[in-house]
Amino acid sequence: MSTVAGHAPSFPSRREVIEHVRALGREVVAVMPIHYPRAMLRAHRLHPIEIWGPPRVPRVEGSRHFQAYTCDIVVKATSFVRSGGIAGTKAILVPHTCDALQGMASVLGDFLHPEQRVLTLYLPRGRRTSDRDFLREELQRLGAKLSEVSGHQPSRADWMEAFEAEDAADAALADLYRRRERLAVSDRHFYQVIRAREYLTAEQFCEAATAVPEGNRPRTGVGLMISGIVAEPLELFDQIEALGAHIVGDDLACGFRRVYSTSMRNDPFERSASRLLKGPPDPTCGTPVRDRIEALQTRMRALGARGLLVYDPKFCEPELFDVPLLRKHLHEAGFPVLHVEFEMGETLPHQTLSRIEAFVETLS
Amino acid sequence: MSHVAAIGIDAGSTTCKLVAVDRDGAIIAWLLEPTEPRVEIQVRRMLDALRAEIRIETAVPAIATGYGRKLIKQATRNLTEITCHARGVFRDLGRAGTLIDIGGQDSKVIQIGEDGRPVDFMMNDKCAAGTGRFLEYTAARLGVPIEALGKRALSVSSEEPISSTCTVFAESEIISLIARGAEPDAILRGLHRSLVGRVVSMARSVGIVPPVMLSGGVARNEAVRTMIAEATGEDVIVPRQPQLMGAYGAALLGSAA
């Protein structure tokens, strides 16, 4: 694995990762966004590979099963599953991130019956003690299903090894964000590494994160914070740089919202639940919007962001509920907000770029 | 004639505009044509025509805006329509406030700050409803010249509501109304109301800070002006040459550079 400043990072492909984990005696589980217990999968000798609506997959097959106003992540992932994209995996795990993903789990499990087992994970919409208790029980239920899928009942040693490895990868992710200003790589390169966590093993991710070089890379233009679910395609970052701006930080579901704090509880389910509930504010976890606004303001001030770009796939309900209040309150705090909705595809539409360009001009 | 300080080029989706300004920011010449498929060739020809009309002694800054702005090789810089319209209208009307620009294929709402810079904006560019194309499309269906649309819509008090927000569905709705014998001018009135409803709803999302100003070709339509005033409860101010505001703003930004 090599990572060179100014060049694209080099990672094993998904196929190579699958071969690698199988050689280690693990099976692959396809996982939908956003939050799920990675260590629990590992302890059960399973490896997660995430699906964020593959951009090259046509909507047609998925469109047959959902309303026209369902987001691309769900529609394209369903197309992907139906077209054999997850062949060879043991199961598909669909966390209850939003109503659209819950709907996807129902459509897959009740009507489409893929060859893989469809597993659900109901996530609480709060961070109270009762939420943690609920999540612990939900994880126990999921754990039993994972044992059925893998045929393996984790020992104490399996759990400890899994937590150690996944905590190290979580720490490597957090460290990348901490070191962001000192890293000698482009925004695109940075997010390629961040998003490699979606399919690399914990060890491979730690290696990739450590390989990101530090050094002088002068960053010019307007500093932006980017929020939303997923920044696709990665070309977006090149275009933002070409427009005279750069990303100083993010509040992306595929990025910073998964910088979890480590929990040291003894019970593995309790520990997994605590980890999932210790992430940054996230509307899909029921975080009150005021907490998200406050966290964004604090981070934007600290990182020197001039404005917030909210970049969402079309029809993302959890985000749409927050956007009007984000706009209002951040604007009042001196941080203009641009909300852009996009359709997942391989190219960036001219209109999207025009809006971002106009936004950068207003901040320049 | 004054010396040319800068040229603004607005390569819009429907019309292509060139504006030359002097050092004081006054318009000294302008050209406007329907946009041709090869806008870069068209702009080259229009620049030659402008040079033939006025004396341009040395290389002056040329700022391009509009959807085709990145194709204009003669431009020293390109900027979005948001920035250029805001600057042009602010200079022409001398007011901060809310600018609604209804162009041929998109519409924008721009909040202009006290210094003439855009503070916030919103664009509708994925749907023809709420744009000049919406009116053009249905004017053709009703056989009414585009220049007469506004006057005809205001000439009646009755109004046929158009419920479809999509241009294509609105056309089917209009066909049904014609088939039912509805008065064409009442249909036109309903059509204008529908367009205005969309742009005012967009303006409300940005926040309406008075006065409301209007630019783009559709600003010449008196029914649109009247109905926006009714819907917002604010006076609507229109620059002298609303279609030129993008190119004018570009030229002003070029001369200030």
Per the CB < 8 A criterion, the answer to whether B245 and B219 are in contact is no
Going from N- to C-terminal start, the domains of chain B cover 6-87+244-256
pLDDT at res. A316: 94
pLDDT at res. A2: 40
Tell me how many degrees the CA angle B78-B79-B85 measures, rounded to the nearest 5.
135
Q: Report the number of distinct structural domains present in chain A.
A: 1
- CATH number, position A357: 3.40.50.11900
Spell out which chain B residues touch chain A, with contact meaning CB-CB distance below 8 angstroms: 67, 79-83, 106, 117-121, 123, 125-126, 205
For A85, how many CA atoms within 13 A lie in the half-sphere containing its CB? 24
Q: Which amino acid is at A71?
A: C
Closest CA–CA distance from residue B169 to any residue of chain A (Å): 17
- Picking from B83, B123, B126, the nearest residue to A361 by CB comes out as B83
Residue A121 in any domain: the answer is: no
Residue A89 in any domain: the answer is: no
Q: Among B70, B79, B99, B120, which would you mutate to test the A interface (most chain A Cβ atoms within 10 Å of its Cβ)? A: B120
Q: What's the rounded mean pLDDT across residues A282-308?
A: 96
pLDDT at res. A4: 40
Chain B contact set for A324 (CB, 8 A): 205
Contact A358 B67 (CB under 8 A): no
Residue A3 in any domain: the answer is: no
Residue A277: which domain range? Answer: 218-363
Residue A344 in any domain: the answer is: yes
- Picking from B82, B125, B205, the nearest residue to A361 by CB comes out as B82
SS3 B165: coil
**ipTM score above 0.85:** no
Confidence of residue A283 (pLDDT cuts 50, 70, 90): very high
Contact B126 A357 (CB under 8 A): no
What whole-number distance in Å separates Cα of residue B99 and Cα of residue A21?
Answer: 58
Domain B6-87+244-256 in CATH 3.30.420.40? The answer is yes
Contact A336 B119 (CB under 8 A): yes
- Picking from B80, B117, B119, the nearest residue to A354 by CB comes out as B80
pLDDT at res. A96: 96
Question: Two tokens at B198?
Answer: 């969309």
- State yes or no: pLDDT of B168 exceeds 80: no
Put the strands of the sheet holding A91-95 in their side by side order. A46-50, A27-31, A91-95, A117-121
> Which tens digits make up the pLDDT trace of B175-200?
888 888 889 899 999 989 988 998 99
Residue A222 in any domain: the answer is: yes
Percent of chain B exceeding pLDDT 90 equals 67
DSSP state of B36: P
> Which tens digits make up the pLDDT trace of A99-158?
999 999 999 999 999 999 999 999 999 989 999 999 999 999 999 999 999 999 999 999
> Which tens digits make up the pLDDT trace of A32-89?
999 999 999 999 999 999 999 888 889 999 999 999 999 999 999 999 999 999 999 9
Q: What's the rounded mean pLDDT across residues B120-137?
A: 77
> Which tens digits make up the pLDDT trace of A148-198?
999 999 999 999 999 999 999 999 999 999 999 999 999 999 999 999 999
CA-CA distances (angstroms) from residue B224 to A141, B130, B156, B189, B239?
61, 11, 15, 10, 15
Q: What's the rounded mean pLDDT across residues A295-323?
A: 96
- Picking from B80, B120, B125, the nearest residue to A361 by CB comes out as B80
Percent of chain A exceeding pLDDT 90 equals 88
